[in-house]
Each structure stands twice: as C-alpha cells, then as structure tokens.
Amino acid sequence: MKQKEDRPFFTMWCERFKYHPQFIGKRLKKLDSDNFPDPYDIDRDIYDIVTMEEYLKQEDDRIPIIHTCIENVFEQRLPCPLTHWNEYAELHVSLLSGIVVCLEVYTLKQGHKNDLMNYTMIEFKNEK
C-alpha cells in the first residue's frame, strides 16, 4: 500500500475536519475493542484508542467514532444508544479498497433533548 503522502486525495476529509472552526482542538476516540480494523488513512494525531469507560464518557474535546462499512458487511455493535452523546462521529469506510469515504460529525442542537431528530450533521469528504 502506498504511503498516505503519495495519496493526498484520500486524506482530504481528515484535513477538513482538523481545520474546521467547530472542531479545532478536538480529537476522535476509537474504542479499543471495536473489532474494526485500524482506521484507514487517518492521521494518528487526531484520534485516540480508548477503553470502554473513556469511550462512554461525555467529553468536550474528544468525539466518539463509530465505524460503518459502505459494503454493509460489517456493523459495529454500540455499547449504548447514539443519543448517549452530545456529539459523535461516523467514519464511513470501504473495506474492499481501504479508503475512508467520509466522516460525518453529529452535534446535538443547543437546548434540545437527546433525540436523533435534534442533531445537526457536518460531512467531511474526499472532494477537490
């Protein structure tokens, strides 16, 4: 596999997340026992591998990441409902190509109760 420096198009989503005004200084957190392959094309400086206790903790500076597979052959079992967090991220990966298709970050609207209808979503894609 080529180094990510040789494939800048495949990591554009990562740069967009790192420098988005709403997420500057925030990191992603990956559950250490999620049985999903290590993240593809992700800069190690934006995510932490954490224990279940840390993963479930509500944090202002770290966003739990949920892996989804675009081929629908893998489904991550979640330790809690999505509404447990005020903010969470879905990483959409192609297991066949090993490419991150996009990252979607969901944020609970200010003053609303935790209901999936009350989240806003920002999508980071590999687009020019």
pLDDT higher at 64 or 114:
64
Q: Which residues contact 25 (CB under 8 A, 6 or more apart)?
A: 61
CB atoms within 10 A of CB 115: 10
Tell me if the pTM is above 0.85.
no
Alpha-helix runs per DSSP H in the chain: 12-18, 52-56
Token pair belonging to 117: 């209808």
pLDDT-derived band at 59, boundaries 50, 70, 90: very high
Name which of 109, 75, 86 is nearest 66 in CA terms: 75
- Strands of 87-94's sheet in order across: 47-50, 27-31, 62-69, 87-94, 99-108, 119-125
Q: Is the pLDDT of residue 62 over 50?
A: yes
Mean pLDDT (whole number) for 53-71 = 86
Domain ranges for the chain, please list them.
4-125
CB 123 within 8 A of CB 102: yes
Give 1-45 pLDDT, tens digit per residue.
444 455 555 678 888 888 899 999 899 998 887 655 555 557 778
Give 69-102 pLDDT, tens digit per residue.
776 655 566 777 777 788 889 888 887 777 788 8
Token pair belonging to 123: 């999508």
Q: Give dist(CA 55, CA 48) in Å, integer.
A: 10
pLDDT of 16 reads 87
Place of tokens 């597979």: 69
- The secondary structure element, H or E, covering residue 69 is strand 62-69
